[in-house]
Structure 1
Amino acid sequence: MSINAKAAPVSFRNVTKIYGKDVVAVDNINLEIEAGKLVTLLGPSGCGKTTTLRMIAGLEIASKGSIHIGDQDVTLLPATDRDVSMVFQSYALFPHMTVMENVSYGLTFSGFDKSETRDRAQQGLDLVGLKGFGDRLPSELSGGQQQRVAVARALVLEPQVLLFDEPLSNLDAKLRRQVREDIRDIQQDLGLTVVYVTHDQEEALAVSDEIVVMRNAGIAQVGAPRELYDAPADKFVADFIGEANIIPCDIIDVKGDTAHIAIGTLKHQLSARDMMPGPANLAVRPTRFKLGAAGGVPMKVEKATYVGSRMEYTLAAHFGTVFVVSEDVDGPLAIGDTVMVGLDRIGPVLLAVD
């Protein structure tokens, strides 16, 4: 027996979810998730990402609009009639059942005989690296191993869509990195359609083909990880996807697709992004500053922290403070030093003023 992906696309068409009379959890969203892709719903608490995931699963029913999995309209179908599997934050393993029994559980309701059920469950354990663990109880496994059991239990059902709800939140930092790599490897090897919910930006950047950034029950921006990191649509996305310093600037002029800007005495040019001369904001990642740059902005070191592979600085300028990262750990700046700070040629991004 082999587990073959029946990957299907997911489509949200003008979907709204309202609780009670007027609590809007998801507000008229349109979203296309390609078959065989891992798409992450990312955003702060209360933005609507978990409700969106639960509507795919059938654990919540849309108030308006329609949801399609493949060619089927599943908007009103109960969870039991949808070809999806979900891996929960809590793993939801049965403590009194062995690992093999946990992985086999869903298969016992799918019409397979005992032999095929066991074969499928064993292959599921092999896929997640738990060969030989079938006779153990969940309590005898580490947190990362328990998470893999939950993934195996979902995989053996051969779902059209596999859903993850904050799957790594109960793991420590080192284990989180390992398990997210495992999930990504399995998804790519089997060509699964995966929808993944997290509030962790680094996790989203690491695992995703595409990220859906959500805010206030709606979608702020959709794009590949590098696209969102390098070209955020607005201040919220810039600050939420990785860390960004938002600096006021003036667009002096625009020639073609290039804007010439000024921050005090500092002059710089970059993509205009269809903006016109006048006040604007500049989003600058902590790694995109140039310390000791001629013609830069004078800044005073307020904090200097050594974190092993880099120095982290809080610098004060005439417009406020910025957070700057430098790989120069051998010649660090000291608190109270004044340094001229410039910008990397690539990296800073113009944003409209709110």
Structure 2
Amino acid sequence: MKDRQLGSKAAPVRFEGVSKVFGKDVIAVDNIDLHVDAGALVTLLGPSGCGKTTTLRMIAGLEMASSGRILIGDRDVTKLPATDRDVSMVFQSYALFPHMTVLENVKYGLTFSGFGKEEARVRALHGLDLVGLKGFDNRLPSELSGGQQQRVAVARALVLEPQVLLFDEPLSNLDAKLRRQVREDIRAIQQDLGLTVIYVTHDQEEALAVSDQIVVMRNASIAQIGTPRQLYDTPNDRFVADFIGEANLIDCTIVNVEGDTATIEIDGYQHKLPARGMTQGPATLAVRPSRIVVGHGDGVAVRVAKATYVGVRMEYTLEGAFGQVFAVQDDVDDPLDIGAELRMSFAAKGPVLLPERT
């Protein structure tokens, strides 16, 4: 092995006004600007058809931008083929060769990159060690679990020491428990090695769990960029509020604004929260299910329409003059009765006004 540590080549990625058009008028990516810091894990998140995979493939050189510039480090790679971009990609399908051993799979790319047999073997063994598969080198892919196969695919990408490592829906073929384990493994490897990782998923929980920043995409463009907490706590509009986790969207009225604080009213119940630059009048409030308080004190009149026990919590559908909301409570031993007439209020921190008028 060379003295250089894996991850030391990590480079930033920049999109400057990048668009991708298929055919004459199918716009897959529409004039996006994006900066990914070296050593960060950034997730492209959005529904099917929003442009996230096309964006990833343009970084890899598997699709060419129709306009704009793509830079990796200080190098303009917009027109370069995939083989000249110094990036590696981990695919949804793993793409392991079934007739090759784990070690041969991991070595495969190295043999085409100018490394001698012994150095390729040492590098491949080191890569397997990094992903927790030391001693698995002589097994075939069919002898591994899905999570282990995914780690082999990661090791194969890592040993090439790319400037940027790309993941395209890497956990979609795994069951729920294994997805959690493997996403934690990927995040730990990324942080330990200081890799620049760009990760595509449509799973909101997955994105929240692994990312330094999340890029929420909608209709071929970027809806919002921020840390997981920023996007969860202060979404820009109802699409982001509803897509990042669950959110109840409730019509309200801003009755007063003093400085940066607004007072909103719903059926006579008032609540103070950040104004976010909004003024008096109709507005939309986004409230996470865990930020709804149900009891007999001050609040909006509601009726418990549904109650569902899901093990670690209770889930409720509440009905009021404003419509329906979804609420959760940790108390599973003393659940609310279906049909109970109660009052709904909000936690002091959590509800947020959406700047977009709905």
Asked if Structure 1 and Structure 2 have the same fold, meaning a TM-score greater than 0.5 normalized by the shorter chain, the answer is yes
Which of 278, 288, 291 does residue 288 from structure 1 map onto? 291
Displacement, 1:35?
0.3
5+ residue gaps, structure 1, are none
**For residue 313 of structure 2, what is the aligned residue in structure 1?**
310
Tell me the distance in 1 between the aligned counterparts of 2:309 and 2:337.
11
Decide whether the 8 Å contact of 1:164 with 1:195 is kept in 2. Answer: yes
Q: What is residue 111 of structure 2 aligned with on the other side?
A: 108
Partner residue, 2:121: 118
> Residue in 1 aligned with 2:152?
149
User: How do 1:160-199 residues align onto structure 2 when only pairs under 5 Å count?
Assistant: 160-199=163-202
Distance of 2:311 and 2:30 partners within structure 1? 44
Q: Mapping of 1:1-354 within 5 angstroms?
A: 1=1, 3-5=5-7, 6-351=9-354, 352-354=356-358
Once residues 121 and 338 of structure 1 are traced to their aligned partners in structure 2, the CA distance between those partners, rounded to angstroms, is 64
What whole-Å deviation, never above 9, does each CA across 1:254-293 have from its counterpart, x for those lacking one? Answer: 0000001100121000000000000000000000011105
Give the distance between the partners of 1:34 and 1:174, measured in 2 at CA: 30
Once superposed, which parts of structure 1, at least 4 consecutive aligned residues long, lie more than 2 Å away? 1-4
Tell whether the 8 Å contact from 1:47 to 1:216 is kept in structure 2 after alignment.
Answer: yes
Distance between the aligned counterparts of 2:116 and 2:54, measured in 1? 36
Deviation at residue 52 of structure 1 after TM alignment: 0.2
CA distance in 2 between counterparts of 1:327 and 1:190 reads 38
Give the residue type in structure 2 aligned to 1:57: A
Distance of 2:320 and 2:158 partners within structure 1: 53
Which amino acid counterpart does residue 77 of structure 2 have in structure 1? V
> CA–CA distance in 2 between the matches of 1:123 and 1:331?
53
> Normalising by the residue count of structure 1, what TM-score does the alignment of the two structures yield?
0.99
Contact kept? 2:6, 2:158, Cα under 8 Å: no
- 8 Å CA contact 1:55–1:61 kept in 2: the answer is yes
Instruction: List gaps (5 residues or longer) in structure 2.
Output: none
Counterparts of 1:289 and 1:102 in 2: how far apart (Å)? 51
2:306 and 2:323 map into 1 onto residues whose CA distance is: 14
Over the matched positions of the two proteins, sequence identity in percent amounts to 73
Q: Over aligned residues, Cα RMSD in angstroms?
A: 0.7
Opposite residue 353 of structure 1, the aligned amino acid is R
SS at match of 2:349: coil
Give the secondary structure class of the aligned counterpart of 2:192: helix
Counterpart of 1:344 in structure 2: which amino acid? A
Deviations 1:1-53 (A, max 9, x none): 26421100000000000000000000000000000000000000000000000
Q: Name the aligned partner's letter for residue 239 of structure 2.
A: F
TM-score by length of 2: 0.98
- Per-residue deviation at 1:331? 1.6
Aligned length: 354
